[in-house]
Amino acid sequence: MRARKMIYLGIAVFVGAATYFGWKSTARGAYESAEYKVVETDGSFEIREYPELLLVTTRSEFAAKADDGSFMRLFRYISGSNDAEQKVAMTTPVFMEPDAGKTPGQMGFVIPKKIAEQGAPTPKGENVRLQKRTGGRFAVIRFPGRMTRETTDAAEAKLREWIAGRGLEAAEKAEFAGYDPPWTPGPMRRNEILIRLLGAEEKASPEEETLPRSEPGGTKQDARD
């Protein structure tokens, strides 16, 4: 009987390990991730320095949990729906800005560093555009579980309290970042809230620069219009 229990235990450990490493090979560790430099760490809180990043973005409703088609619009871009018909590797994290009042939210994929340096292809899809994310210093909180309005509101409140306790000045707008595919178990998920820290030289939140997009007929149009 004891030998049988040991066999079952061994099988359970093997299956668990195989599941974990199988998940790890297809999860965030398999993708290029946006670069940053950690300036300070305090438990689940960090201050990071980010370089300028290039994103492909689209409008998104956070409450819809990507059921509004936002994720698939971006996925089609990296699958070749661009003027070069070029496939672009998936990266992490997926950045999200929640909608606020009449201002729509936004979802963005980070363009891989090499492609950004060479020149990313222009999106073909409607409501999809290339946009520069201004570099700078951000306060960040990391938390597991599912990203919902309740969990993000609670995490953002904790982060703002932590920022205020250090006498730092924070931007009004917060960003969300998700690192994992949908099938990742809640306890293993990496979610983050990021808030830009304002220095003496940037008391106003900087605007993100939107790059021109191609219109039918080959003309260029400012995507802000």
Structure confidence at residue 172 (pLDDT) = 94
59 half-sphere exposure, CB direction, 13 A CA radius: 11
Which CATH number describes the domain made up of 34-221? 3.20.80.10
Instruction: Locate 75 and state its tokens.
Output: 């996925």
Please state whether the peptide bond connecting residue 93 to the residue before it is cis, i.e. omega within 30 degrees of 0. Answer: yes
150 half-sphere exposure, CB direction, 13 A CA radius: 2
The predicted-structure confidence for 119-148, as pLDDT tens digits, reads as follows 999 999 899 999 999 999 999 999 999 999
Distance CA 190, CA 175 (A): 14
Instruction: Judge contact between 176 and 149, C-beta under 8 A.
Output: no
Average pLDDT, the chain: 82
* pLDDT category of residue 199 using cuts at 50, 70 and 90: confident
Residue 151 confidence (pLDDT) above 60:
yes
Residue 64 confidence (pLDDT) above 80:
no
Instruction: Judge contact between 96 and 59, C-beta under 8 A.
Output: no
**H, E, C per residue of 17-57:** HHHHHHHHHHCHHHCEECCCEEEEEECCEEEEEECCEEEEE
- 46, β-bridge pairs: 41, 140
Closest CA to 136 of 211, 55, 205, 197: 197
- Residue 214, Cβ neighbours under 10 Å: how many? 15
Helix (H, G, I), strand (E, B) or coil at 162: helix
Residue 222 confidence (pLDDT) above 70:
no
pTM of the model: 0.77
